[in-house]
Amino acid sequence: MSLDTDITMILAKTIGPSAPIFLRQVCMKIKKRPSELTKEDLDPLIDQIYEGVRKTLGDDIAQNIKNNLEILY
């Protein structure tokens, strides 16, 4: 599987079908397309995902997603 698919699957467990849209929005902030993501992009991407989720769903959920994403290293 591709990295963007793995990330989307992790996000979808918590935020549901909006996961691909959310990932695209976060990728725009780091000036990448989801299909172009590499492991080098994970640190800034995870930080952006954490902040976006934290603002809407709270710190506990954001931290859980962050922990799951860090496994992708």
Backbone φ, ψ for residue 37 (5° rounding): -65, 140
Alpha-carbon separation of residue 48 from 9, 14, 29, 64, 69 (angstroms): 17, 16, 8, 14, 12
Residue 18 has what pLDDT?
Answer: 97
pLDDT band at 8 (very low <50, low <70, confident <90, very high): very high
73 pLDDT higher than 90? no
Coil, helix or strand for 37? coil
- Enumerate the domain spans of the chain: 3-70
21-27: average pLDDT: 97
Assigned token pair, 20:
């691909």
Residue 1 has what pLDDT?
Answer: 78
pLDDT digits (tens, 9 = 90+) for 26-68: 999 999 999 999 999 999 999 999 999 999 999 999 999 999 9
